[in-house]
Amino acid sequence: MSTPTKLYEGKAKILYTTDDPGVLLTQFKDDATAFNAQKKGTIAGKGEINCTISQHLFQLLERQGIPTHFIDCPSASTMRVKAVKIIPLEVVVRNIAAGSLCQQTGLALGTVLNPPLVEFYYKNDALGDPLLTIDRLRMMALATPEQVEQLRSMALKINVLLTDFFQRCAITLVDFKLEFGMEGEQLLLADEISPDTCRLWDQADTDPDRRVMDKDRFRRDLGGVEQAYQHVLERVLAQITPV
């Protein structure tokens, strides 16, 4: 067996090659960044927690007909995934106004968005991941018009499935970010789905700070980051039906 080679190290994950060119190994790290890496830290246990939560959410989505890059988890913090060509877009779905949406539009935190909002951001750290218009997206040929429509409809279907799942965990899915890749002609959901990439509010608490169970605890120095991630994991595991 050849030694895995590091392909790429990102802010929260390291990607390695494997013996199979169609398979990559992702190592989830405890490192955390926010505000385009201007704020850095570590969240103890995050790698294992995010890998395990992502595993269960990918499996749940696969069972409901959403193709994902997930293969399996050789350890608690590593995931084998199908090698895909990542589309350089961050697809954000919002059910409730928070974060940059409030800052940029003046909408009050907590405003319910019905229908949910789907947004496309250009995945480019040097440019600070700017929000794109559909026309800019087309002009830059970041995705074909057909792919854009497919991304939108997959994102909305994923939103229905995840909202329903988190509801059963007594957690409100406020918003989340998805990334997709192409395996040949097939569009696959890639990256991760975790408290790093979702806003999750505890339904048992209405206090705007105490209810936060996601990376906003780190971004906003709310404390209790590790515990919040651990609680999300516990609730996800309690709801997962054995396959």
- Residue 63 contacts residue 4 (beta carbons within 8 Å): no
Between 46 and 85, how does the x/- string for binding to ligand UDP read (CB under 6 A)?
A: ----------------------------------------
Q: Which of the ranges 144-152, 154-162, 173-181, 230-238 carries the binding residues for ligand UDP, by CB under 6 A?
A: 173-181
Output 150-153 pairs: Cβ under 8 A, ≥24 positions apart. 150/187, 151/87, 151/89, 151/91, 151/120, 151/180, 151/187, 152/91, 152/118
Between 86 and 105, how does the x/- string for binding to ligand UDP read (CB under 6 A)?
A: ----x-x-----xxxx----
Both ends of the chain: CA-CA distance in Å? 31
Window 193-222: residues binding ligand UDP (CB under 6 A): 197-199, 215
Please identify, using beta-carbon distances, which residue of 176 and 180 lies nearer to ligand UDP: 176
- Residue 22 contacts residue 199 (beta carbons within 8 Å): no
Number of residues that bind ligand UDP (CB under 6 A): 14
Between 125 and 164, how does the x/- string for binding to ligand UDP read (CB under 6 A)?
A: ----x-----------------------------------
Under rule CB under 6 A, residue 176 binds ligand UDP: yes
DSSP letter assigned to residue 90: E
Distance CA 114, CA 96 (A): 9
Place of tokens 């319910």: 112
Shortest Å distance, C-beta 47 to ligand UDP: 16
Under rule CB under 6 A, residue 179 binds ligand UDP: no
Please identify, using beta-carbon distances, which residue of 48 and 129 lies nearer to ligand UDP: 129
- Residue 229 contacts residue 223 (beta carbons within 8 Å): no
Under rule CB under 6 A, residue 191 binds ligand UDP: no
Distance CA 29, CA 13 (A): 5
Please identify, using beta-carbon distances, which residue of 98 and 212 lies nearer to ligand UDP: 98
Tell me the pairing of strands 6-9 and 13-17.
antiparallel
Shortest Å distance, C-beta 90 to ligand UDP: 6
Between 112 and 131, how does the x/- string for binding to ligand UDP read (CB under 6 A)?
A: -----------------x--
Distance CA 3, CA 48 (A): 22
Distance CA 208, CA 49 (A): 24
Q: Which residues bind ligand UDP (CB under 6 A)?
A: 90, 92, 98-101, 129, 175-177, 197-199, 215
